[in-house]
Amino acid sequence: MKFGTMLRDIWGSVFKKPATQRYPFERLEAPDQFRGTLHWTPGKCNGCCLCMKDCPSNAIELITIDKKNKQFVMRYHADRCTYCAQCVRNCRLECLGMAHDEWESAGLKREDFVVNYGTEADIATLLAKHSPTDAGEPTASGAGPGGGSTATP
Amino acid sequence: MSTEIALQQAEQLLSTFAKGTAKPEANRLDVTIEGSDLTAAATALQKAHWGYLSALTGVDLGPEEGAIEALYHFCEGAAITTFRVRIPRIGGALPSLQTLYPNAMFYERELLEMFGVTVTGLADTSHLFLPDGWPDGVYPLLKDANAQAAAERASASEPPEMGRQGDKFIVPIGPQHPALKEPGHFEFGVDGELVTSAKVRLGYVHRGIERATQERNYVQNLYLVERVCGICSHSHANAYALAVEKLAGVQVTPRAQAIREMVACLERIHSHLLWLGVAAHEAGFETLFMYSWRDREVIMDLLERWTGNRVNYSANVLGGVKFDVSPEIAAEIRKGMDTIDERTRHYLHVTMDDTSFLQRSRGIGTISQAEADHLGVVGPVARASGVRRDIRTEAPYGGYAQFPVKIVVDAAGDLAARFKVRMEEIFESTRVIRAILDGLPEGELTVKMPRRIPAGEAISRFEAPRGELFYYVKSNGTDMPERVKIRTPSICNWISVLVKAVGSQLADVPPLLAGIDPCFSCNDRMITINRPGRGGQVLTWEDLRRQAASHTRR
Amino acid sequence: MRALINLLFFPGGLFLIVLALAYEYADRKLIARFENRIGPRWFQTLADIVKLLVKEEITPATAHPVLFGVLPVVAMSGALTAALYVPLLGFRPALSFPGDLVVTLYLLSLLTMSIGMAGWNSTSRFTMVGATRSLTQLFSYEAPFMLALLGPAVVARSWQISEIVATNKGVWILLTQPFGFLVALIGLMGKLEMPPFDAPKAETEIVAGALTEYSGRGLGLFHLGKEIELLVGLTLIASLYMGGIANPLEFFVKTLVLLGILCTFHSILTRLRIDQTVGLWWRYGAVVVLAQWLVLIVWKGIVA
């Protein structure tokens, strides 16, 4: 007949610090390996689109401004991304990376989750040409599952 | 007995029924059978105690062929015998194997609603996974099924009528209930505190994953299947990768295999600790719940530091793993294992010796060995009833040949035994992790993997924390699979709950439910209603409030 | 006039409610610390009650609406009235008459019975099971609990709480009647439906037991009634068994020590099934307290 096997635990806890992390007042750092938001550096990309091809959720669109001069804009849908890092692996030129400290990415509007990466000029060109896509609807020009090509909306 | 002998025995038993045999892999025997011979063939196997019915795959061969192939997979140790039954696409019928294998009820109901196959002799033909409002005549897994059109026609599901059925007083548990961590619907007919009948309705988190795999390439599917379940995500990714690598004829490096095994062991530990907390909470022991989940954080932090995420580690790529074990991570893992060992020893002591806890777990839901065999349960539930069923020892895959695991079995068969088995498995896992860290083989992490997988069929079985995970992958030479069938362990274990709940007290039902470690997300893998262009409904606060109150307001 | 002040402000009414909320906070905070968590902030219990009182009450279609609305008030009034007869904070009870010990206990049972009736009235699956369990539990612990509390009454030769307290001042009955004290303490856990006796409101089995269909004001009143019951129970046991309460400081110390013991039991024991509860009480609880009584009567008859 044994009672109170956890007695030592509970009485000990009264004198110890609680295990709760008082977020947001106490904020622990995410480890270096953590897969946070995707980032893309425009200079190195050659438009191969391997990243787009294998994305499980069509979160990446590579929009060509000028293929010969390697001017691209990457439209990243942070709300569709599953943070699997397959795109990072696929890219042979190391254009992609996942920021380990960006993980507090809640938002109130769908539009906030569409991020355009590229040089200032390229993004300006893109936005001037086309209006932003409707919230939530996959664009017809986006890469279809299982294969894709550079998109020209 | 060895795989060779087992397959020979199966071939002999089925010789009268087989219209053709084939051996696609060393451990597999495919036997083509007529639908009319199905019951006789299954009886032949059962009489000889050859294996158990592990899964039932339906494959649509397409409108041109005009046929559906039903594959009945029987497993004995590492040997798999598959009955291949061809039936016409429209109006095909098969006899039910429910009386021989109680588990078959779930598999056949799935076949029924997904492919439109009529299964004669099935007691319950209601929808298992599809919602009640799903239109008749639309079968999602047929190649030409138009899911969008079906979605348009689908009507809203009404909540089930909860009344008295004769003298029975029905207590509903779910879909929203504090006892369930995921939605599922149970109806227990009670007489005072005694349960007299049990019914289950699954499909509340059915997401259409099997259908979705047919529309994505192999790499995308790796991440899709990882998200079938949060807590066994690596098991799914691993099983899928094994099957695809088998098809491609690619052998992963020993280092990658060892790393995969290590992640699998870490997953097993955190899954069992989660289960410990949940089962304790169901029985009413909240303190154990809080403490075990606190200690589970050790593993979650380790996984985050190593793989980059607490859940859905995306450790695998087709052909290997994504990351390596650095000396810092190895040291941290060792320290974590020491903490886990110490705390698990304490929890074993608590669950096995605390009288008030034993009152709720000893002698509850006892499944005898014969019963466990007959019902076809898998995983720790089977092992707690003395059935020596563990894929890691019967049919070692990946790194388990080099770093084997000892099987943990208990003969008692009650809830307390299931606690013991899972705690002991945690000890085994920490031991294996330390062994791997000590003897990690050198080498590359990945091998080259073709994008187009050659045509063929592959079966991979994996021991997830909940039991045997069964994957059947059929490829057709392109970079998208033809059919991926996922048979998760939880679906095998439901039948034991339904059988054991009848005759037990109502208060014992939630611990019984928790005892099989149900994973509803694993169960329900299929439904997709994405209505692009329809916008979607915007419900204001007033609307929600009104809708919620409308069911009860006078 | 004095009666009105007693009833509404001190020591009944408002003061009582505030004190009850404070004790609920102490209970929840202590449990949280036992479980290595932080627990609520000091105003949490007040915020909960205020929130419940302003929420909309939804009456089930098949419940009798008058009964549905009146039962919480009945429960609350039972608890509040019972509190007028116990020496809160060590002061003389506001009201007192011979036999008020039994009346107090019955008023506390009134709360449990209201919960049972409310559950039956709600006609929902969960509430029916919860109400049945609640009343079953009442039948099992009520007799031993009452007998245990009457132990000190026998010693003081009176059934009036103020007289018992005055006669037994300074005498720690728990030393001479340890089993009675144990039964009284554990009986209090049963009365309050604290784990391990929380089968009537087993969250993981029947959602919230008898009170599942209550929301808003009804739930707020039931909840508050239960907290007052906690306070009254603790005061009773402290004053009867722990040598009376001389001043407010002593009151807080003694009742909080008792609360600590209750919370410890709460944390280290698993919930009992309802049949196990009944078995426990009728097999061990009743036997122990009857044995205690036998000793008491023999001693009183022969020795004193």
Q: What is the pLDDT of residues A72-112, one digit of tens each?
A: 888 999 989 999 999 999 999 988 999 988 888 888 888 88
Look at chain B and report how many structural domains it folds into: 2
Cβ distance B356 to A6 less than 8 Å, yes or no, reads no
Q: Is residue A93 part of a domain?
A: yes
Q: Is residue A21 part of a domain?
A: no
C276–B contact, CB cutoff 8 A? yes
CA-based nearest distance A70→chain B, Å: 26
pLDDT beyond 90 at B200: no
3-state secondary structure chain C: CHHHHHHHCCCCHHHHHHHHHHHHHHHHHHHHHHCCCCCCCCCHHHHHHHHHHHCCCCCECCCCHHHHHHHHHHHHHHHHHHHCCCCHHHCCCCCCCCCHHHHHHHHHHHHHHHHHHHHHHHCCHHHHHHHHHHHHHHHHHHHHHHHHHHHHHHHHCCCCHHHHHHHCCCCCHHHHCHHHHHHHHHHHHHHCCCCCCCHHHCHHHHCCHHHCCCCCHHHHHHHHHHHHHHHHHHHHHHHHHCCCCCCHHHHHHHHHHHHHHHHHHHHHCCCCCHHHHHHHHHHHHHHHHHHHHHHHHHHHHHCC
Q: Is residue B79 part of a domain?
A: yes
Instruction: Tell me which chain A residues have a C-beta less than 8 angstroms from the C-beta of C33.
Output: 13-14, 18
Q: Does residue B498 share a domain with residue B402?
A: yes
Domain end (from B126, B150, B169) = B126
**Residue B114 DSSP symbol:** H
A1–C contact, CB cutoff 8 A? no
Q: Is residue A18 part of a domain?
A: no
| Residues B355-364, mean pLDDT to the nearest whole number | 88
- The CATH number linked to B106 is 3.30.460.80
- E strands, B208-348, are 316-317, 320-321
A20–C contact, CB cutoff 8 A? yes
Q: Does residue B364 share a domain with residue B237?
A: yes
Q: Does residue B254 share a domain with residue B107?
A: no
CA-based nearest distance C35→chain B, Å: 6
B352–C contact, CB cutoff 8 A? no
Q: Does residue B247 share a domain with residue B118?
A: no
B288–A contact, CB cutoff 8 A? yes
Q: Does residue B226 share a domain with residue B99?
A: no
Chain pair A-B, CB pairs under 8 angstroms: 88
C69–B contact, CB cutoff 8 A? no
| Residues A24-42, mean pLDDT to the nearest whole number | 89
Q: What is the pLDDT of residues B119-130, one digit of tens each?
A: 888 877 778 888
Q: Is residue B299 part of a domain?
A: yes
Any chains having at least 3 CB pairs less than 8 A from chain B are A, C
Average per-residue pLDDT for chain B: 86
Q: Is residue A49 part of a domain?
A: yes
Instruction: Tell me which chain C residues have a C-beta less than 8 angstroms from the C-beta of A25.
Output: none
pTM: 0.89
Chain B residue at shortest CA distance from C263: B287
pLDDT beyond 70 at A145: no
Q: Is residue A13 part of a domain?
A: no
Closest to B391 in 3D by CA, of B473, B467, B472, B493: B467
Instruction: Tell me which chain B residues have a C-beta less than 8 angstroms from the C-beta of A30.
Output: 304
Look at chain A and report how many structural domains it folds into: 1
Burial profile C103-113: b = 16 or more Cβ within 10 angstroms, e = fewer: bbbebbbbbbb
Q: CA C209 to CA C125: how far, in whole Å? A: 9
- From B177, B281, B284, residue closest to C198, measured CB to CB: B284
CA-based nearest distance B549→chain C, Å: 7
CA-based nearest distance C293→chain B, Å: 28
C203–B contact, CB cutoff 8 A? yes
| Residues A25-37, mean pLDDT to the nearest whole number | 89
- From B179, B360, B554, residue closest to C59, measured CB to CB: B554
One pLDDT digit (tens) per residue for chain C, 304 residues: 877 887 787 777 888 999 999 999 999 999 999 999 998 999 999 999 999 999 988 888 888 999 999 999 999 999 999 988 988 888 888 888 888 899 999 999 999 999 999 999 988 888 888 899 999 999 898 889 999 988 888 888 888 888 888 888 888 888 888 889 999 999 999 998 888 898 888 777 777 888 888 988 999 999 999 999 999 999 999 999 988 888 899 999 999 999 999 999 999 999 988 889 999 899 988 899 999 888 888 888 887 6
Q: What is the pLDDT of residues B473-495, one digit of tens each?
A: 999 999 999 999 999 898 888 88
Q: Is residue B163 part of a domain?
A: no
| Residues B423-427, mean pLDDT to the nearest whole number | 95
C35–B contact, CB cutoff 8 A? yes
- The CATH number linked to A145 is 3.30.70.3270
- Domain of residue B282: give its range: 209-523
- From C268, C273, C275, residue closest to B287, measured CB to CB: C268
Cβ distance C35 to A10 less than 8 Å, yes or no, reads yes
Q: Does residue B502 share a domain with residue B381?
A: yes
Q: Is residue B153 part of a domain?
A: no
Q: Does residue B431 share a domain with residue B320?
A: yes
Q: Is residue B164 part of a domain?
A: no
Q: Does residue B228 share a domain with residue B113?
A: no
| Residues B318-342, mean pLDDT to the nearest whole number | 94
Instruction: Tell me which chain C residues have a C-beta less than 8 angstroms from the C-beta of A4.
Output: 268-269
- Domain of residue A63: give its range: 32-153
- List, in order, residues 6 or more apart from B266 with CB less than 8 Å away: B299, B302, B303, B333, B429, B433
Lowest average pLDDT, out of B162-166, B324-328, B496-500, C298-302, goes to B162-166
**Strand-pair partners of B74:** B53, B81
Instruction: Tell me which chain A residues have a C-beta less than 8 angstroms from the C-beta of B288.
Output: 6
Q: Is residue A54 part of a domain?
A: yes
Cβ distance B506 to C205 less than 8 Å, yes or no, reads yes
Q: Is residue A25 part of a domain?
A: no
Chain A interface with B: residues with Cβ < 8 Å? 1-6, 9-10, 19, 30-31, 33-35, 53-56, 82-86, 89, 98, 136-138, 145-147
Domain end (from B126, B147, B178) = B126
Q: Judging by DSSP bridges, how do beta strands B456-464 and B467-475 pair with one another?
A: antiparallel
Sign of CA dihedral C51, C53, C54, C57: positive
Any chains having at least 3 CB pairs less than 8 A from chain C are A, B
Q: Does residue B229 share a domain with residue B114?
A: no
Q: Is residue A128 part of a domain?
A: yes
Q: Is residue B145 part of a domain?
A: no
Q: Is residue B85 part of a domain?
A: yes
Closest to B7 in 3D by CA, of B19, B20, B25: B25
Q: What ipTM was assigned to the predicted interfaces of this complex?
A: 0.91
Q: Is residue B64 part of a domain?
A: yes
Q: CA C232 to CA C16: how far, in whole Å? A: 10
B282–C contact, CB cutoff 8 A? yes
